[in-house]
Structure 1
């Protein structure tokens, strides 16, 4: 619905105001003696009986003596002349005491007694999907009827055509439809009509009827379903002379709508076409007839270029084109607007497009007050100089690629909001910034600006409330005793340089609700005055500094539902008390010690994030954790907590990250985690958990991405149910006593099959709230996991989502490595070492072509190394040592590039880089001995003479001994007889076997 208020809207509000004033006057008259008419009072009581009033809005409607006068009832107004009820206003208004509980029920026909009604408003209630009662058409004196947002459904009754005095009709935001529009043509006095969300697809006459209403000025058809309009029907259509405001947003209109929009009215002042299907360049004729147009909204379409005719709209004040497909150079677009509209245009919204180029000299547009260019692709710079002063109030260039310094903007003395965040601005900030005395909002977040921000930059900015210099290389250089003239509400200085001393100027700031001075090079003790924090504070971030000392009681210093981050400092002492309504708390990487019982003050209603990892905390967990039913992130890693872990979750469990790594917890993994079907992370490594790996992990945790049970006391086999973890990307069961075989269904881990990952991080979204009305701000928490990588513990955070790893090392697994594991093509690391695995290495292991680390050492693997292993081009770590592998190491630059230790302990393995040569690699022998002399002279005639003499002497020495010694001769012949018998005994059966 358009935000522009037309003259007729003003008239309606004026009329309603007069009625309200009359109501106040009439109440006084009633007190003087005017009573409501009895039958009308009874009719209202009967109407009340059909309603459910949970919050007592109609508590003043009664029949006892003190409440008999219905003219004094809430929402009722009577005529001071006749006593008849002329107004019934039961519109639901948000009640923080009883939120979201409007009236609901049925509309009793007893209301027919109120025949003098001028004003009937039943909007924003719940009438249970019932149709609009036809008898409402009998209130012929009605001038104002509002049934919007009241859960009506069905056909709009044609009896409403009897309300000929009606000036305003609002039926929007229900589930209604119209088959024919003829009844509407009787409402000649109608000036405002709201049919938002009404289905008009069967009302082919809607356009003719609408344009025939002589008094109609404001028409709202947002999100209505319109019938198609063919060109022949346009020839009989008259142009409306009265229509000034037309809202056709979200109606599914395509480019064909330009033809009838061209004819609908030349007197239009405001036209809203946002969220349709208008595509491509806007044709020149489309708006050329709308010479009076002041406000045009074409946002959220697919428009690629605007017409030059826009420059000829001499009365155009606002032009909204954000989130389209506008391309080309920004200066060219401004050139198309440089007709007479250059002098009238006040608000120009071009954000969310694909415009490129530099920022032109916008001071040429003499009336321009707001320029929104956020989320484009501007890749130039600011003009070297703006030519003349400008009335500009808002300049939003957020999310572009502008470069260069932030120039002197003193030509914009009325500027209240300057946003150049998330660009590529470099260089320095001009001291001319200090002359923008009306500036309230200043956002330089996420650039590459450098240099000093001194007192001269900000001393005159007395109205400044929002200041964000985060993610720049700016240093705030204020003198120690200087106090700024402003009272900031938002202070964002992340990654700037404030230190080494704690900034004294913060002591003067009393109204801030957001303070982020993280990573600002402060190495100092926090002064005691700081802990007397602003009473409006709902977000505090002091992380990644070197702040020292103890943290004082924080429980009384926060408003709303705050978030607190004190991580990565040198705070020590006990965990401080915090506000009971805190939503996020990060105390990680400090020196806090002792138990965490002080956190029991947290009510847990909106408490979604707790990180106390990397401290010196100890003891058992307090029972108050059972109250934290909204917790999404729990990180207790790297402390010395002990005891059994609590079954802390209730019937509903929003927990997404469960990290208790490196503590001394005992017992089983908490079975209550099976209710946490949003879990993405379970890291229980380096504890003393025992028992078997729970099978329910695979059955009830479909989103689990990280499962680490490393270095515990688990036994038993790996449950086949874990193969259902289709999202798992890191599986670590190393250093346990797990036995059995690796499940063959491991190829069902489909996330490891995929070679690409959609996100580099595993992120959890949480919300911290500014007030009890729950106007929340979204933040995020990136998970951390420790992975054994190339022999050392590596911590992954920003790239955790890209890591895909299986580590089953140091267990008692046996059996063969399943061939199915080779289908996990996304694996980066595979470690099956120090088990009792047997059989060959899977022949298709080369399919794991992203593998960077492979460790199969210290098993009982046999067979040859598969040739496919040489295909692993990314392999950086390989260890096959201490197995029973045999044969030759396949030849490739990759496999020969590893140290020999990668293959050591395989006694039958040969080939480079091992020193053992394979038989086929030995040099070939000479096939025959010839009488020729060798090159080195070893084989000679003397050599052969010596061989012959040796044979003769040896042979005749043996024979002569047999001839001369009888006992030797007898023993020799017995030996020959024995040998003959053995040969016959073995040879004959073997021959028989061969014959059979």
Structure 2
């Protein structure tokens, strides 16, 4: 049989045929997305109409990336308003490597088998949702990044959580409700870990050993938990670490001298703990350190001179410890980057260090509650960026010179110099001199026993929002021009010798009248402001934001006379009003019921007469109330929250009757209006009211740390006792 040779004219058609077959093969491998992946996505997000998922090919959908076989590899849908739970159907996306559903409104638990089939998963980000339940195991050996922060996950961390994560570099489970101990095997599973964030949870026990195995660890955060014990010894072996953040725990013991091995350290935050001992003598070897926040501990001893070699420091806070020594002996001149310095509440002595004025970047300085002496020197004006200054509770002198110098600042927004200049006279000065304080928002010079009157130059401070002149010996009348300061919403004039009538001009305070004129100072304080309040106990409140200060007028313990002006009812944003221990007369005006945001009202120890207006029951937020020791008469308004206060709120008024007082009221014909029980309470229609108290910021403890404030899990509070009876004043 003959075979025909392939002729040249047959080569071209045959080549074309091969090319066509190749193209067809390519086309056939680049078809639309895999049907199972398509159906899984549809069933997972079928209610999400806002996404551009109209085409039949899911590989062209918003947030979707496919491989060459049409398998979904990336699902990236952050901030899309997705609600509901995470569908188990996502587990069918077996080629998925990147999953980001962060900043949505997802809720409910993660299915137990959700991640079991996602063996190629590399990046998982479900942060800022409302997911709950216990953490599910992630078996993928490829997983590099896990971010489950800011959810509602609870329970303990299972040992299998990241057991096979040999490529893990970043783990963030912060801001959840996870309890138990911090897992100790993460660095054993992966030597590539750079970031570990366990902060703002409910972890307890000791920080486990094992961090030294994290040869690449750069960030370790576990603040705002209930961790106890000492700092783990192998932490000082993590030579690559740049940040150690462990605030608000129960850690104790000293900071080892071995910390100087961590030469890459830039952030050291271990405030609100119980650390003791002295600072390492060679801490200056940490030349890259930018933030050292060790306030609210039990550190003691002298500051090592080498600390001044940390030339990259931006913020240094050693406040509320037991440190000592002559502060003026330290050389701050090398700290050219320093922006915040807080040494409050220690035992430092000496004068204000001249070398400190070489820190040209310094914007916030607090040296309050020490034993410094001398005078404020003109050299302080070289701190041209200074906006926050607190030198209260020292032994400074020459208030006239101090005010003259401080008026040379253009940038100062906060000045607190209370508990100094004892017995001196507060300078009045030229009324126009206040114009140099054009940015002053907070001024506190309380508890100095100063004489004189409220200085006229304050009338020019159009940005002033908080004024504290309490616990002095100031005399004269309260000037009506205070009511013309458009931003003023906090006034404390307690414990002075002011006389005359309560000026009705105070009712013109714009910042207490309407939200439109509310204070503009909503910014974050460079350093927190502390105020002290005395009621049944003495507490100290910390405020990080000026807008969180209570809208308040405190005039307790003066010699004010006359009637309460009815115009006071215009201050509808007022939260706290204290007129106690004065000589006020007349009725309680009905117009006070217009103060609908009032939380504290104290009219006790005056000479008020008439009855308690029933309209005060409209003050639905009232949590503290007293009219004790006046000349009030008649029945306490019944069936209202006013009756829910303790009898001590009404005592000292023989003419008052009715619950909660034991004496019953009599009708005109002598018959009883109400019948008393054996304990003196009305057994009729008495209503039990739940009392609550509102506190802004968080309550600070002097040496110990308590739990989280109700308003935010990220804030912590503690109790703080002082031997003082001063009420509502700034002290630092």
TM-score (norm 2): 0.72
Structural mapping, 1:900-919, within 5 Å: 902=650, 904=652, 909=655, 911=657, 913=661
Aligned-pair CA distance for 1:582: 0.9
- Name the residue aligned to 1:843: 590
- Name the residue aligned to 1:544: 296
Per-residue CA distance 1:316-348 (angstroms, 9 max, x = gap): 65554222212232344725xx45xx42x5444
CA distance in 1, matches of 2:166, 2:539: 53
Structural mapping, 1:368-387, within 5 Å: 368-383=121-136, 385-387=137-139
Name the SS of the counterpart of 2:84 in structure 1: coil
Aligned-pair CA distance for 1:677: 4.5
Structural mapping, 1:706-855, within 5 Å: 706-753=466-513, 765=524, 781-789=527-535, 794-797=539-542, 801=548, 803-848=550-595, 851=598, 853-855=600-602
Name the SS of the counterpart of 1:532 in structure 2: helix
2:157 to 406, 419, 438: 406
Structural mapping, 1:246-395, within 5 Å: 280-286=49-55, 288=56, 314=70, 318-332=74-88, 334-335=90-91, 338-339=92-93, 342-343=94-95, 345-359=96-110, 361-362=114-115, 364-383=117-136, 385-387=137-139, 389-395=140-146
CA distance in 2, matches of 1:501, 1:369: 40
> Does residue 1:553 correspond to 2:314, yes or no?
no
Name the SS of the counterpart of 1:888 in structure 2: strand
Aligned-pair CA distance for 1:563: 0.4
- Name the residue aligned to 2:350: 594
CA distance in 2, matches of 1:347, 1:678: 49
> Does residue 1:879 correspond to 2:627, yes or no?
yes
Structural mapping, 1:431-470, within 5 Å: 431-435=184-188, 436-455=190-209, 457-470=210-223
How many residue pairs get matched?
604
- Name the residue aligned to 1:624: 379
Aligned-pair CA distance for 1:513: 0.7
- Name the residue aligned to 1:615: 370
Change (3 A) 1:485 1:707: closer
Per-residue CA distance 1:821-878 (angstroms, 9 max, x = gap): 1343444443324444444332333444665554445555455554545666746442
CA distance in 2, matches of 1:755, 1:875: 22
Structural mapping, 1:118-137, within 5 Å: none
CA distance in 2, matches of 1:326, 1:916: 61
Change (3 A) 1:740 1:797: same
1:516 to 233, 255, 269: 269
CA distance in 2, matches of 1:526, 1:561: 16
Change (3 A) 1:570 1:410: same
The answer as to whether partners of 2:486 and 2:517 remain within 8 angstroms in 1 is no
> Does residue 1:700 correspond to 2:461, yes or no?
yes
Change (3 A) 1:358 1:648: farther
- Name the residue aligned to 1:4: none
Name the SS of the counterpart of 2:474 in structure 1: strand
Change (3 A) 1:324 1:333: farther
CA distance in 2, matches of 1:534, 1:900: 58
Aligned-pair CA distance for 1:814: 3.5
Aligned-pair CA distance for 1:446: 1.2
Judging by fraction of residues, say which structure has more helix: 1
**More displaced stretch, 546-555 vs 889-898:** 889-898
Structural mapping, 1:8-407, within 5 Å: 280-286=49-55, 288=56, 314=70, 318-332=74-88, 334-335=90-91, 338-339=92-93, 342-343=94-95, 345-359=96-110, 361-362=114-115, 364-383=117-136, 385-387=137-139, 389-407=140-158
Per-residue CA distance 1:110-139 (angstroms, 9 max, x = gap): xxxxxxxxxxxxxxxxxxxxxxxxxxxxxx
CA distance in 1, matches of 2:249, 2:651: 52
**More displaced stretch, 909-918 vs 653-662:** 909-918
**More displaced stretch, 564-573 vs 750-759:** 750-759
Name the SS of the counterpart of 2:268 in structure 1: strand
CA distance in 2, matches of 1:626, 1:817: 44
Per-residue CA distance 1:195-221 (angstroms, 9 max, x = gap): xxxxxxxxxxxxxxxxxxxxxxxxxxx
> Does residue 1:657 correspond to 2:409, yes or no?
no
> Does residue 1:668 correspond to 2:427, yes or no?
yes
CA distance in 2, matches of 1:875, 1:479: 46
Aligned-pair CA distance for 1:536: 0.4
Aligned-pair CA distance for 1:289: 5.7
> Does residue 1:569 correspond to 2:321, yes or no?
yes
Aligned-pair CA distance for 1:881: 2.6
CA distance in 1, matches of 2:157, 2:395: 51
CA distance in 2, matches of 1:689, 1:842: 34
CA distance in 2, matches of 1:478, 1:891: 59
Name the SS of the counterpart of 2:360 in structure 1: coil
> Which one scores higher on RCO, CA 8 angstroms, separation ≥ 6?
2
- Name the residue aligned to 1:61: none
The answer as to whether partners of 2:97 and 2:121 remain within 8 angstroms in 1 is yes
Aligned-pair CA distance for 1:281: 3.6
> Does residue 1:684 correspond to 2:445, yes or no?
yes
Per-residue CA distance 1:553-608 (angstroms, 9 max, x = gap): 35642244510010111101122443233110111121112222255344333x12
- Name the residue aligned to 2:17: none
TM-score (norm 1): 0.54
Change (3 A) 1:690 1:500: same
Aligned-pair CA distance for 1:696: 5.1
> Does residue 1:580 correspond to 2:336, yes or no?
yes
Aligned-pair CA distance for 1:525: 2.8
Name the SS of the counterpart of 2:163 in structure 1: coil
Change (3 A) 1:333 1:641: farther
Name the SS of the counterpart of 2:577 in structure 1: strand
Name the SS of the counterpart of 2:507 in structure 1: helix
- Name the residue aligned to 1:76: none
Aligned-pair CA distance for 1:613: 1.9
Which blocks of at least 5 consecutive residues in structure 1 are unaligned? 1-261, 263-278, 299-305, 767-779, 925-996
CA distance in 1, matches of 2:219, 2:192: 12
The answer as to whether partners of 2:388 and 2:413 remain within 8 angstroms in 1 is yes
The answer as to whether partners of 1:709 and 1:733 remain within 8 angstroms in 2 is yes
Change (3 A) 1:668 1:795: farther
The answer as to whether partners of 1:443 and 1:469 remain within 8 angstroms in 2 is yes
The answer as to whether partners of 1:649 and 1:673 remain within 8 angstroms in 2 is no
CA distance in 1, matches of 2:627, 2:241: 59
Name the SS of the counterpart of 1:747 in structure 2: helix
1:424 to 177, 191, 197: 177
Structural mapping, 1:481-520, within 5 Å: 484-503=237-256, 505-520=258-273
